[in-house]
Amino acid sequence: MSVLDFPRIHFSGICSLHEPTGNNNFSGNIDLTKNQIYDEKGRLIDFNTNPEEFYKYFTSIGDRFDTDGKLSKEGNFNPTAGRDYEGNSRVLWDAKVTSYQLSPQETITQGVLIGESVSLWGHYNEYLQTSFNQPKVVKLDPTDASTRQIFGGQFTVGERLTDISSGYYINGNINQVQHARWNKTMHYKDLPEHWNNDEIGRAAVYQFVISEKDIIELDEQSNATCTHLFKEILKNKQEAQGIVVQFTLCNASNPVAPDTPAFYSLYGTIGIWNPSTEMATYPAGRVFVPNYKNLQNQWCKNLGMLSAKIKKDHVSLNAIIGFPFSKRSLHAINGPLHEVGVVCIEENLNLFSKGLDKPIIKLTKESFSTPDFLVSCGVLDIPICNEFTDEEWHHIEQNDLYFAVESSQGTSDLVLMEQSIIIQADQASIYLEIPSEKNNLFFDESIEIRSFKRGKPCSIEEIQIVQQYNPFFHPFNNSDFLLDTIKKASISVATEDDHTIFSDQIVFSTDIDGKATITLRGISSGSLRVFFIHNDQEKEKISNLLKKDDFEAYTIESLQSIYPDSNMLHAVVMNDDWHLFNKDPGSMSFDFMYKEVLSFYELLFPFMNREVFSLANKPKTKTYARLSWQMCDPMNKSKSYYMPPTRDLSYPKALLFKEFLTHVSAIGYVPKKETR
């Protein structure tokens, strides 16, 4: 059960991301391992600098670009500050149900449920006693767009009647962070040159589940056939244990004014969740990756990942970002979004199983309809085009699949191939603290690893962990910076069999259900990828990748050319701030707290200086001491309202902040600071 099964509900609309961009380190003047900022001459920025003066300086660094994305001395944009320097991380959906399906024969686009609102909310805030807040977006690694994650706390289908707890077709709580999956960089053919094309051309898939115990409301007092069927399946089928929601964000609007949100096309599908065969945050099915080595077929560079489920009479494809759009308008038309061309199927596409000559399905240019593709949000049901014996069906189940186009010479041209082994974690982006052996404080993170073979849970033996640190996390354009002298980001890992022995290189296996638990421990600050290698061929690929120049090797293009993002996770090891541990709160001045805790964030995130949360504002610090701590409490790091938005405030700094704010509340005033 998944979005590849029935029933399904499809929705689409617009998503705005007010994602802050000041910490993207485009100009290489930020040390994200130490929370330090350098000016253009390589000098450290004094944290006593007036924030407003710094904002003016920061937005003047480097080249400037106009609203057409072209280099211009009079342009309003500079990549150093990014398109949305003053972004506050807020996410807003404006989406409606477009269709639903009860079987592969019919897509229903009229009647009850069609046109109903689909909303993603933030988490319930105990201090404010409200759920009426927006989800948040932030990259785990601000220099790597593939680490984008969305923090949503509640999902609803239907109009709100009285309060957020009633009056919906579907209403439930979310307990996972939504990670960007199947990251794709070129979703449009022939995209015009633009300084922000990395975002404009990007597409990614996100997924979350509402477990059965977290469903607040389902099909109450309605006559919607589809949601009623959802309810019946959850009630009567033991394997059905929740609702899965998948959505994609693509077609980011060109920036037209600095510090304004980006608008994205939003497409999504709702289905039934079976946790025994499907992950919570990674799409189900047999996964396919583009054959980027097929240099003769230029179409391949615009293809993306997709998944499939083979059935006796049809194949269900989850192809929402699998195929590119033929074009994209230069400017937004009739609203904030850009018009796109047709979904591009350049050649007749056949699905084969290795060792069988007969195609399983045919996807022809003539039969492919872009409107149908979009109304079903890229989830397609294609009829089986040949008859197969039981032996052949068994062969299809046991052998890899591939998509190929027929050339004019009648030969097959492989464009998409099955990634038969998937090794993933629902918690795919991880923040790790550096431990303090001196204080006997450790912050190990245990995560469950899932392994699948051709779409089904399967034991995989001798999985090796390999790490790749991110050099872009450092001030690489500083004249004093030397790559050879830095301490590279690293973690150590322990297995479930012996969780007391940590090593930077371990080998583990998943059990018969395709599950294992590993424990991660931060060693050195920074950002890194953690690969799960399961055979010699993959080991050689990663070895060749790591032999490249460190910066070239960490680009998404270098990675995707040899290794799809299906078998890895990302980690950020937070700063080593243990020198701030056990400080006497009574001896802390306002200056000390501002410099040591939040000044870095308020310089790179102007909204923190201008909204409620700001240590630079003494009256607000006194008035909102409890709220400020609640938003910074490490226990709330997975909540949408957590601050700072990067979620990388280390434990020593968070504890220092708590003690200071507790002291403020107790004495009734903010300790004096020097005039700035």
Q: How far apart are CA 475 and CA 400, in angstroms?
A: 44
Residue 432 lies in a domain: yes
Q: Is 602 left (phi over 0), alpha (psi -120 to 50) or beta?
A: alpha
**Is a pLDDT exceeding 80 seen at residue 500?**
no
pLDDT of residue 410: 60
Hunting for tokens 């201090």 — which residue is that?
127
As a 3-state breakdown, the chain gives helix, strand, coil percent values, each rounded to 5, of: 20, 30, 50
Point out the least confidently predicted range of 96-105, 132-141, 152-161: 152-161
412 and 432 fall within a common domain: no
Neighbours of 127 (CB within 10 A): 13
265 and 287 fall within a common domain: yes
What does the pLDDT average to over 157-165? 65
| 412-to-359, 404, 408, 418, 556 alpha-carbon distances in Å | 11, 6, 10, 16, 29
Backbone angles phi, psi at 289, to 5 degrees: -125, 150
470 and 507 fall within a common domain: yes
- Provide, rounded to the nearest whole percent, the portion of the chain with pLDDT above 90: 68
477 and 396 fall within a common domain: no
What does the pLDDT average to over 646-665? 83
Confidence of residue 594 (pLDDT cuts 50, 70, 90): confident
**Is a pLDDT exceeding 80 seen at residue 673?**
no
| 504-to-491, 492, 553 alpha-carbon distances in Å | 6, 4, 20
Domain final position from 419, 444, 472? 419
397 and 254 fall within a common domain: yes
Nearest to 609 by CA among 676, 655, 526: 676
Would you state the structure tokens that stand for residue 604, as one six-digit string? Answer: 């790179």
**Is a pLDDT exceeding 70 seen at residue 409?**
no
Would you state the structure tokens that stand for residue 652, as one six-digit string? Answer: 């020593």
Mapping DSSP to helix (H, G, I), strand (E, B) and coil, where does residue 519 land? Answer: strand
What's the longest Cα–Cα distance across the chain?
84
Confidence of residue 411 (pLDDT cuts 50, 70, 90): low
Residue 335 lies in a domain: yes
Nearest to 445 by CA among 494, 514, 498, 516: 494
What does the pLDDT average to over 615-632? 64
Residue 589 lies in a domain: yes
325 and 274 fall within a common domain: yes
Confidence of residue 48 (pLDDT cuts 50, 70, 90): confident
Q: What is the extent of the structural domain holding 502? A: 422-573
281 and 152 fall within a common domain: yes
Residue 384 lies in a domain: yes
Would you state the structure tokens that stand for residue 216, as one six-digit string? Answer: 């607040």
Residue 74 lies in a domain: no
Point out the least confidently predicted range of 408-412, 502-506, 559-563, 572-576: 408-412
> Which strand (E) or helix (H) includes residue 331?
strand 328-332
Number of domain units in the chain: 3
What does the pLDDT average to over 82-98? 96
475 and 587 fall within a common domain: no
Q: How far apart are CA 70 and CA 90, in angstroms?
A: 28
Domain final position from 573, 596, 617? 573
Residue 34 lies in a domain: no
Judge whether 350 and 406 are in contact, CB under 8 Å: yes
Q: H helices of 299-386, where?
A: 370-375
Hunting for tokens 């056939």 — which residue is that?
225
**Is a pLDDT exceeding 70 seen at residue 556?**
yes
Average pLDDT for the chain:
89
Point out the least confidently predicted range of 19-33, 307-321, 556-570: 556-570
Q: H helices of 245-323, where?
A: none
pLDDT of residue 565: 63
DSSP strand E in 193-325: where? Answer: 203-211, 215-218, 242-250, 262-273, 286-290, 306-310, 314-318
Which residues 6+ apart lie within 8 Å of 110 measured at CB? none
**Is a pLDDT exceeding 90 seen at residue 561?**
no
Confidence of residue 206 (pLDDT cuts 50, 70, 90): very high
**Is a pLDDT exceeding 90 seen at residue 165?**
no
**Is a pLDDT exceeding 50 seen at residue 266?**
yes
Q: What is the CATH number of the domain that holds 523?
A: 2.60.40
569 and 583 fall within a common domain: no
Residue 73 lies in a domain: no
Q: How far apart are CA 308 and CA 370, in angstroms?
A: 19
> Which strand (E) or helix (H) includes residue 667?
helix 651-667
Domain final position from 419, 448, 470? 419
Residue 486 lies in a domain: yes
275 and 288 fall within a common domain: yes
Which contacts (CB < 8 Å, 24+ apart) does range 124-127 have? 124/153, 124/154, 125/630, 125/639, 125/641, 126/630, 127/626, 127/627, 127/630
**Is a pLDDT exceeding 90 seen at residue 339?**
yes
Please tell me the total number of residues recorded for the chain in this structure: 676
558 and 585 fall within a common domain: no
What does the pLDDT average to over 332-360? 91
600 and 561 fall within a common domain: no
